[in-house]
Amino acid sequence: MKNWSIGNKLITIIIASSLIGLVIALIMFTFNLLDIKNSVYEETAKDLSSIVNQKVVAKGEICISNAVSLANDGKIIDALKNGNRSALIDVTKKLSKDFKSNTNFKNIKVHVHDKNGKSFLRSWKESKFGDSLLITRKSVSDVHSTKKAVVGTEIGISNINLVGVAPIIESGEYIGSVEFKAGYNSIIKDMKKYYHANVLMLLNKDIISKSESSAKLKTVGKYSLNQKTYDEKFAKYVSSINLDDINKNKYHVSDSYFLTVSAIVDYSGQEIGYYVIGEDSKYLEELIGQSQNIVYTAIALIIFILFLISIIIAVFSRKIIINPLSELNKAITDISQNSDTSSRVFVERNDEIGKVANNFNSYLEKIEEGIKQDGKVIEEAIDIVHKAKEGFYTYDIKEKANSAQVELLKEKLNEMLVVTRENISMITNALVQFGNAKYDYSINAKSSGNIGSLIKGTNALGTSISEVLCMVNNTSFKLSSNSEELAATSEQL
């Protein structure tokens, strides 16, 4: 990769990053797909149980509200206070008729108790009354002792219902209590109608055995079915399933049904059975399919987004990085090929590439200034060299060079000029001395090369002239002596 262009490196990084992101996303979604069924099953079980329990609570609120309302009915208070069961029967019949006409409660059950906790009137079984309820009915016992309204599922002697019990108090005196009973059929019908779910209220046979109605209840597996309306096929299927296992595992799934259970807790806090809630498996499969489609859509969307991001990054990186770098490289190449330091890289951006270009331009400016300064030194050196050729060695190079090498060259030229000037001065002085007949004058210098030879030649010239003059002097002396001898001889002759 060291020899790759930046563009190729960027594209490689983008593709690698996208592939890594895609692989991570696929791994995550694969795990989600594997877990999606369990998630749907768990959420469905939780939702179904929650809906049933909410409906039971809502119906319990209705029961206790109606019980409180009945406890404040003047006719019921008067009938109970006066022990007038006939009047109370008329009141309950009218209530039953009104509820049937105006509400979803078609067969209400009202049970009035006297201040001693004994049954005063059962609206559904008028002939049975006078039995004590304080031992067999905890809800009645609690209201009798606390004088506060209560609600809950309770196993009575005659049936198992959701009951709301409220105290009847007149002028601060407790005169008895009234309970409003409700069944579970409306909840079962609502679940079937609005949620496509079957509900079975299955009770533990051993626990409800004290109820007179327990023998009349249909058996489903080891449980008693506490409802009139139910799906026989569903009930048959449930009879073959271990509900305790479903309660432990939270749900049960087969090709036919999806099942979950919710414990039925009576007013005393005892678990007395299960609400078995079931849906046709096809609804769950549809929901799972929808969830999986969402996952597949998300995967496709992520792939598209990664692809789009890769393209955007590639395009913008080329526009923002690659193209400007290519332009900068072209400008630098043109400048290097033309050796024209006055050229500049055109800059119209303030990012990192713009800063590089500006710094390069600043570098070129410094180089140009340095070349100009070195040029001044070279021009002065050329002028002095021309003067030296004409015999003028009295000048030095004054300009300061920018380049260290040119500055060193200037210094060496100046040294050469100084040494040459000194050597010429010594030779000239020697010739002047010779002109003054001081032929014994000698130049004391250790120069070498041509200048050294010239100095040696000058010294040799002085020596030769001295020798010639000496010979001339000797010859002149001899000639003078001979002339004197000739003159003497001539006089003798």
**How far is the CA of 301 from the CAs of 27, 307, 352, in angstroms?**
15, 10, 35
Considering the domain boundaries, does residue 222 fall inside one? yes
The distance of Cα 27 from the centroid of its chain, to the nearest Å, equals 17
Domain that holds residue 209: 32-285
In a shared domain, residues 27 and 75: no
Write down which residue in 273, 294, 318 finishes a domain: 318
**The pLDDT of residue 487 is above 60:** yes
Interval 161-173 mean pLDDT = 94
pLDDT over 70 at 418, yes or no: yes
pLDDT tens for 75-123 read 999 999 999 999 999 999 999 898 888 887 777 899 999 999 999 999 9
Q: For residue 53, what are its two tokens?
A: 């329990």
Q: For residue 341, what pLDDT is reported?
A: 66
CB atoms near residue 386 (< 10 Å): 10
pLDDT at 279 > cutoff 80 = yes
Residue 96 CA to residue 109 CA, distance in Å, equals 8
Residue 17 domain-assigned (yes or no): yes
Share of the chain above pLDDT 70, in %: 95
407 vs 454 pLDDT, higher one? 407
Q: Do 222 and 81 share a domain, yes or no?
A: yes
Domain boundary among 261, 285, 309: 285
> Which residues, in sequence order, are bridge partners of residue 23?
none
Is 15 a member of any domain? yes
pLDDT tens for residues 53-75? 999 999 999 999 999 999 999 99
- Cα separations (Å) of 16 from 9, 10, 25? 10, 10, 14
Q: Does residue 328 belong to any structural domain of this protein? A: no
Instruction: Say how many domains are in the chain.
Output: 2
Average pLDDT over residues 278-290: 87
Which residues have C-beta within 8 Å of that of residue 118, sequence separation ≥ 6? Answer: 129, 130, 131, 132, 133
Least confidently predicted of 20-34, 171-185, 251-265: 20-34
Give the distance from CA 454 to its chain's centroid: 89
Q: How many CB atoms lie within 10 A of CB 165?
A: 32
For residue 351, is pLDDT > 80? no
Residue with tokens 């609120």: 61
- Is residue 329 very low, low, confident or very high in pLDDT (cuts 50, 70, 90)? confident
Q: What is the pLDDT of residue 158?
A: 64
Phi, psi of 211 (to 5 degrees): -80, 135
Asked if the structure places residue 385 within a domain, the reply is: no
Element (H, E) at 28: helix 6-71
Mean pLDDT of 225-247: 92
Instruction: Give the pLDDT of residue 155.
Output: 84
Whether residue 305 lies inside any domain: the answer is yes
Give the model's pLDDT for residue 311: 83
Q: Write down the pLDDT at residue 364.
A: 79
Q: Does residue 369 or residue 133 have the better pLDDT?
A: 133
Q: Which of 318, 338, 368 is the last residue of a domain?
A: 318
Whether residues 26 and 37 share a domain: the answer is no
Mean pLDDT score, 178-204 = 92
Are 111 and 177 found together in one domain? yes
Confidence at residue 332, expressed as pLDDT on a 0 to 100 scale: 76
Shared-domain flag, residues 12 and 151: no
Instruction: Give one DSSP letter per residue of 92-128, joined into a string.
Output: HHHHHHHHHHHSS-SS-EEEEEETTSBEEEETT-TT-
Structure tokens at 332: 């630098």
Does residue 23 or residue 138 have the better pLDDT? 138
Q: How confident is the model at residue 15 (pLDDT cuts 50, 70, 90)?
A: confident
Q: Is the pTM of this model over 0.85?
A: no
> Is 211 found in the same domain as 92?
yes
Q: Between β-strands 223-225 and 119-122, what pairing exists: parallel, antiparallel or unpaired?
A: unpaired
Residue 90 and residue 222 in one domain: yes
Amino acid, res. 389: K
Strand partners, 198: 278
Please write the tens of the pLDDT for every residue from 120-135: 999 988 999 999 999 9
Tell the residue number behind the tokens 């939780």, with chain if given: 46
| Identity at 367, one-letter amino acid code | I
Instruction: Give me the pLDDT at residue 12, please.
Output: 78
* 18 and 138 part of one domain: no
| C-alpha distances in Å from residue 67, one per residue of 143, 224, 246 | 12, 28, 36
Residue 12's nearest CA partner among 200, 424, 20 is: 20
Enter the tokens of residue 182.
Answer: 């409700």
Instruction: List % helix, strand, coil for the chain (3-state, nearest 5).
Output: 60, 15, 25
| Same domain as 264, residue 290 | no
CA angle 170, 172, 176 (to 5 degrees): 55
- Distances in whole angstroms, Cα of residue 284 to Cα of each of 43, 176, 247, 436: 11, 50, 19, 135
Residue 138, domain member (yes or no): yes
Residues 149, 277, single domain; the answer is yes
- Same domain as 241, residue 213: yes
Residue 359: per-residue pLDDT:
83
Mean pLDDT of 184-213: 87
Q: Does residue 331 surpass a pLDDT of 90?
A: no
Check whether residue 122 and residue 23 sit in a common domain.
Answer: no
CB 41 within 8 A of CB 258: yes
Query: Residue 57 has which token pair?
Result: 């609570």
Task: Measure the CA–CA gap between 297 and 83, rounded to whole angstroms.
Answer: 73
Residue 423 in domain:
no
* pLDDT the model gives residue 5: 67
State the average pLDDT for the chain.
85
